[in-house]
Amino acid sequence: MEIRNQPGGQNAGSVFTNPKNKSAGRLIEDSGCKGMRVGSAEVSTKHANFIQADAGGKAQDIKDLMQLISDSVYSNLDSPNCRN
């Protein structure tokens, strides 16, 4: 992943592992999660596999957002646009 594709600021880095032959960021984006926010944590609008946090943010917000992302991606995998 190139630096220019990565968001700056306070972030949790690349959060999810890429599944075989897929991009976690693409799956997250295709699930409509780009820009999604829970409390102080937000899915980066620059790269969907990065979670950014506001200064003084809570780890629980990141954890809750990660769960919401996982649920959204797994739900979207059942839709025809994600089947290969």
Average pLDDT of the residues in 16-39? 95
Q: Name the H helices within the chain.
A: 24-30, 59-77
pLDDT for 2 equals 54
Each residue's pLDDT tens digit, 66-81: 999 999 999 988 765 5
pTM: 0.82
Domains and CATH numbers, the chain: 3-78 (3.90.78.10)
Each residue's pLDDT tens digit, 30-57: 999 999 999 999 999 999 999 999 999 8
Average pLDDT of the residues in 12-30? 91
- The residues, any chain, with a CB within 8 Å of residue 45's CB and separated by 6 or more, are 7, 34, 35
